[in-house]
Amino acid sequence: MTAAIMDDLVILWAGDRTLAVLHRGPLADWLWHPAGCRLIQDDIVLYDQDGRLGLTIDEEAAYFVDDQAVETLRSVIMR
């Protein structure tokens, strides 16, 4: 998966398929305080499970995102 981080948006791709276009502010807020809520956008669902970031694509394939990748995403989005 690839993320393009723009001034106001974060776009997530898998190969040549756009999975989601997220507004940067709400995504940053959610990454810092998921509080058991799911963030649903386009073809993805982001969720917090026991302090780990989970990602579901098309409600089928579920993945956990590496903690270091989450920290990198947080730091870049917060700029």
- Closest CA relative to residue 25, chosen from 43, 51, 6, 44: 6
pTM value > 0.85: no
Cα–Cα distance for residue pair 24/13, rounded to 1 Å: 16
Model confidence at 16, pLDDT cuts 50, 70, 90, reads very high
- Residue 79 pLDDT exceeds 70: no
The residue-averaged pLDDT of 16-35 equals 91
Do the beta carbons of residue 20 and residue 11 sit within 8 Å? yes
Beta bridge partner(s), residue 63: 55
Cα–Cα distance for residue pair 45/6, rounded to 1 Å: 20
- Counted residue by residue, the chain has a size of 79
**Percentage of the chain surpassing pLDDT 70?**
99
Per-residue pLDDT, 68: 92
